Structure 1
Amino acid sequence: MARACGLGLLLLLLPTVGASMPGTVVRLDKAALRYVSEIGKAPLQWALRVTVPHFLSQSGEMLQPTRIQILNVHVPHFHLDFIAGFGVHLLAAANFTFKVFWDPEPLGLMLPVVLLADARVAQGSIGTPVVSISSCNSFFGNTSTLDGGNSSSAALLALLQEHIKAVLRNKLCLSISNLVQGLNVHLGTLIGLNPVGPESQIRYSMTDRPHITDDSISLDINAVLFLLGKPIILPVNATAFVLPRHVGTEGAVVTVGFSQDLFDSAFLLLQKAGTLNLDITGQLNSESNPLNTSVLGQLIPEVARQFPEPMPVVLKVRLGATPVATLHTNNATLRLQPLVEVLVAASNSAFQSLFSLDVEVNLSLQLSVSNVKLQGTASVLGDVQLTVAFSNVGFIDAHQVHLLMGTVFEKPLLDHLNALLGVGIALPNLVNLHYVTSKVFVYEGYIVVSGGLFYQS
């Protein structure tokens, strides 16, 4: 697997197959090619250690086989460039060290080789990314002997060298092609669903062939969120998303843009799954918790009349309206409009509804990246707005209830919401791929994750 991944980091974020849904763009710049060049030397060196068949030399009337072994392949230079509209150009310089098991004394040889290859990056028939070698050539330098040479004749040495070059000429490009085929298998790890919650997942998919310039490769992909196996469909058609050229961190390895539609889908999923709902329960024996009928009775006379003895109160927070996320430059906000029902446990253990409140709370979102997940934390912006929706206890002074709700409602809501946002949502990735030193930038209508990549084999 490590062999495939060396060159594979060029396409680390290619997505999987899916339906047309919210827009995401992944862009890899030349910094990504430099990173691939650094970590790709080892798997390339391993792939080039081909088997060299015996060299047959004439000894009298018989052919004498001589075993040849590649002791080492060292790649001091490995360079990748984008080919606009096509793929990637590979240039590698390799030094091959051979041991020739001649009798009576083995011979050491060193042969420099330059490899040139062009790799096409396309979209496969089932929508997965496919990389293929379209052209490959090897160029050989002069062979030099090691360990002071050998007593063999110059003519025999020349035949030996031609034998080695002929073998490498046939096998090296095949080895690179096999390496790329292994990469395509590894890209298959993108297929499948990444969990978002216990019953929800996200899947990324290519929508078209990659857009390749002399400086970068950009991938238009879709992010589809699923709840209980069913896709989350926005009320309106998602609009096409174009990632501007100069956004994020300058010189970043990868830049990933997420449109407003992805946020809308994510919060619609949370709302449909019911995970934004919560119950806030007061403890009767807690002196610091005002969620009981005694405290409410001081604000609402009818509560004091119906419940002369203190009883615990429960707030059932239910989110009927879809949360609204808004992205402005350097500012991400979220508006929640839950219905809060205030209940008290009756003597028969059933709950009795006292009143309900329509609540509006505006939150500021701070976004960050951890490993392969986009995470968030929220804080309340301004005052929580509430109005009385229904009452079984007569007139309610909304202002007085507002003071109480601010005490008992905000912190549990934030704790619950931040626990959900802390779980995060998976970014496009391959197995063993991590995002590092990544920053999140908020722009008008979209966000950008920009930073580095680290592959851990």
Structure 2
Amino acid sequence: MAQTCRLGLLLVLLLPVVGASMPSTVVRLNKAMLSYVSESGKGPLQRAMQVTVPHFLDRSGEVLRPTRVQILNVQVLRLQLKFVDGVGVRLFAAANFTIKVFRDPEPLELILPMVLLADARVDQGSIGTPVVSLSSCFSLFNKAIVLDGSHSAPPALLVRVQKHIRAVLYNKLCLSVSNLVQGLNVHLGTLIGLKPVGPESQIRYFMVSKPIITKDYISLDINAVLFLLGKPIVLPVDATPFMLPEHVGTNGAMATVGLSQDLFDSALLLMQKAGSLNMDITGELKSDDNLLNTSVLGQIIPEVRLGGTPVATLHTNNATLRLQPLVEVLASASNSAFHSLFSLDVAVNLSLQLSVSKVKLQGITSVLGEVKLTVASSNVGFIDTDQIHALVGNVFEKPLLDHLNALLGMGVALPNVVNLHYVTPEVFVHKGYVVISSGLFYQN
């Protein structure tokens, strides 16, 4: 029974959330990414090509003799990847195989030039991950070059040796490339893993449709689901489909990531539901530079709560955040109990600056304009907000910013796979969405 429950939980985590209004993101991988993969992929491809060659049966004498053949070294001289419109990626590799034939009386060493061509399809997996598969693969061999110093071999023997090696490599090389692709798929599967946002909240990404592939990029439509205590955060209204415009971000960037307004709305709704935006003044903000702890208000305002869901607004080159905390002002009675004097609705407009660190989107805020106060309720009659505005505004503003910036500094994970980081990212704010242009770095 326990195993059945664990399996059920695993399926819940792996399969897309059905019926929820989900924010969208778009990840666009550009030509520059292929250039990076081509350069960093030479090593793994060389190791994969270092296959075992079975013994060659030498028929040159009266007795059939098995002769050992070994690949001493593989050097990938060139590796090129390019997008194939509507299909996936085409691989072109040129390599030299240094081969030793252990025949009597002297071994024979030769270099066998080879060109490998393969097409890989990129599709959507059943659990919402990218899946790569080889659709075609074949190799072409040039004439072998006998290395200087090697014992001369009869031309007929050299032809037979080359034929043997080519027959083996023709089958094994494509199998080795296929194995590399399968390993890549395992790695791509980490896209859907749950990533922490806070102590009790997580985010999970998954593909919602087949990738769009052009000669310039591959574009993945990805949904993000935020969880609080294992339950998905659902927006009050259906999320509108997000389409990333064609020409955004920085030219030459490896990756272009578009984040919709809905993602920000969900993140803020999660923060509100988790209560992480509430401040326990006397319990959490005890520090030397916190004015609330040294003023009279520090003892009579024990908590600040958000009266409504925070609102993020994305304009061209400008992101803002609007908060509406509720401040309860209390008086201490002789029995150490607190009685409510009055409560204030506070409206705070903040400038939101976004940045990316490794795989996380982070933010920092500063106050725009004045903090506005209105009386929500009063047990002491008329309250003149003008008289308390300066005092409350000054002592409230800094703790609020410190608290909020600490939360935003924790960051929210962007779409990523294990060991892959965003490097030298640039963040652009547009009306209704945010674009990240970035390089990529794979850390072994």
Alignment check: 8 A CA contact 1:107 1:147 kept:
no
Match status 1:430 vs 2:421: no
Measure the CA separation in 2 of the matches of 1:437 and 1:44.
27
Match of 1:398 in 2: 385
Q: Aligned partners of 1:288, 1:428: CA distance in 2, in Å?
A: 37
- Seen in structure 2, the aligned counterparts of structure 1 residues 112 and 405 have a Cα distance that, compared at 3 Å, is same
Moved more, 18-27 or 160-169: 18-27
Pairwise CA distance, 1:368? 0.2
SS of structure 2 residue aligned to 1:428: coil
Q: 8 Å contact 2:281–2:303 — kept in the other structure?
A: yes
TM-superposed CA distance for 1:102, in Å, is 1.6
CA distance in 2, matches of 1:205, 1:387: 44
User: Identity across aligned pairs (percent)?
Assistant: 72
2:337 equivalent to 1:350: yes
**Residue 214 of structure 2 corresponds to which residue in structure 1?**
213
1:17–1:128: 8 Å Cα contact kept in structure 2?
no
CA–CA distance in structure 2, aligned partners of residues 97 and 239 of structure 1: 58
Equivalent residue for 1:26? Answer: 27
Provide Cα deviations, 1:395-420, integer angstroms capped at 9, x if missing partner.
Answer: 32111111111111000000000000
The 2-side partners of 1:188 and 1:387 are apart by 51
Map residues 289-300 of structure 1 onto 2, 5 A cutoff.
289=291
**1:37 corresponds to 2:26:** no
User: Shift of residue 394 of structure 1?
Assistant: 3.2
**Alpha carbons of 1:399 and 1:162: their partners in 2 closer, same or farther (altered >3 Å)?**
same
Partners of 2:68 and 2:237 lie apart in 1 by 70
SS at match of 1:384: strand
What is residue 386 of structure 1 aligned with on the other side? 373
Aligned equivalents of 2:401 and 2:41: distance in 1? 45
**In structure 2, what is the Cα distance between the partners aligned to 1:94 and 1:216?**
27
How has the CA–CA distance of structure 1 residues 349 and 55 changed in structure 2, closer, same or farther, with 3 Å as cutoff?
farther
**C-alpha contact 2:301 2:327 (8 A) present in aligned 1:** no
Instruction: Check whether the contact 1:18–1:203 (CA below 8 A) recurs between aligned residues.
Output: no
Alignment check: 8 A CA contact 2:60 2:157 kept: no
The 3 A distance-change label for structure 1 pair 185 and 389 is same
Give the C-alpha shift of residue 61 in structure 1. 4.5
Instruction: From the superposition, tell whether residues 17 and 209 of structure 1 become closer, same or farther in structure 2 (CA, over 3 Å).
Output: farther
Which ranges in structure 2 are unaligned for 5 or more consecutive residues? 1-13
1:290 to 1:68, Cα distance in 2 relative to 1, 3 A: closer
One-letter identity of the residue aligned with 1:192: G
Match of 1:302 in 2: none
Task: State the AA in 2 paired with 1:37.
Answer: S
- Please name the residue that 1:236 is paired with: 237
TM-score of the pair, normalised by structure 2:
0.92
3-state secondary structure, aligned to 1:165:
helix
Give 3-state SS (helix, strand or coil) of 1:322's partner: coil
| Equivalent pair of 2:16/2:127 in contact (CA under 8 Å) | no
| Correspondence 1:410 to 2:408 | no
Task: Return the offset for 1:330.
Answer: 0.5
Counterpart of 1:449 in structure 2 is: 436
Q: How many residues align?
A: 426
Letter of the structure 2 residue corresponding to residue 18 of structure 1: P
Deviation at 1:280, TM superposition (A): 2.0
Structure 2 counterparts to residues 261-340 of structure 1, below 5 A: 261-281=262-282, 289=291, 312-340=299-327
Q: CA deviation at 1:59?
A: 6.3
CA distance in structure 2 between the partners assigned to 1:292 and 1:122 by the alignment: 61
User: Does the Cα contact within 8 Å between 2:290 and 2:399 map onto a contact in 1?
Assistant: no
Matches within 5 A, 1:38-187: 38-58=39-59, 60-187=61-188
Alpha-carbon distance in 2 for matches of 1:224, 1:345:
44
For 2:335 and 2:353, the matched residues in 1 are separated by: 45
Q: Which moved more, 1:55-64 or 1:79-88?
A: 55-64
Give 4+ residue runs of structure 1 displaced > 4 Å after superposition.
Answer: 286-293
Q: Is the 8 A contact 1:31 1:253 kept in 2?
A: yes
Q: Which stretch shows the higher mean deviation, 347-356 or 101-110?
A: 347-356
Q: Alpha-carbon deviation of 1:291?
A: 6.2
Deviation at 1:185, TM superposition (A): 1.2
1:130 Cα shift? 1.1
Give the conservation status (yes or no) of the 8 Å contact 1:193–1:201. yes
CA pair 281-121 structure 1, distance change in 2 beyond 3 A: same
User: How far is the alpha carbon of 1:60 from its aligned partner?
Assistant: 4.7
Query: Mean Cα displacement is larger for which, 54-63 or 362-371?
Result: 54-63
The two structures, once aligned, show a CA RMSD in angstroms of 2.0
* 1:128 to partner: Cα distance: 2.2
| C-alpha contact 2:123 2:211 (8 A) present in aligned 1 | yes
Match of residue 10 from structure 2: none
Query: Which whole-Å CA distance do the structure 2 matches of 1:346 and 1:249 have between them?
Result: 62
Report how far residue 290 of structure 1 moved. 6.5
CA deviation after TM superposition for structure 1 residue 103, in Å: 2.1
What SS class does the counterpart of residue 409 from structure 1 fall into? helix
What is the TM-score of this pair, normalised by structure 1?
0.89
Do 2:304 and 2:327's aligned partners in 1 also have CA atoms closer than 8 Å? yes
Shift of 1:69: 1.1
1:419 maps onto 2:417 in alignment = no
Is the partner of 1:312 in helix, strand or coil?
A: helix
Contact 1:118 1:136 (8 Å CA) reproduced: yes
Counterpart in the other structure of 2:252: 251
Q: Is the 1:17–1:206 Cα contact (8 Å) retained in structure 2?
A: no
Shift of 1:152: 2.9
Q: 1:288 to 1:367 in 2, by over 3 A?
A: closer
Query: CA distance change for structure 1 residues 287 and 428 in 2, over 3 Å: closer, same or farther?
Result: closer
Deviations, residues 359-402 of structure 1 (Å, cap 9, x unaligned): 11000000000000000000000000111112233332111111
8 Å CA contact retained: 2:321, 2:352: yes
Task: Judge conservation of contact 2:188–2:417 (CA < 8 Å) in 1.
Answer: yes
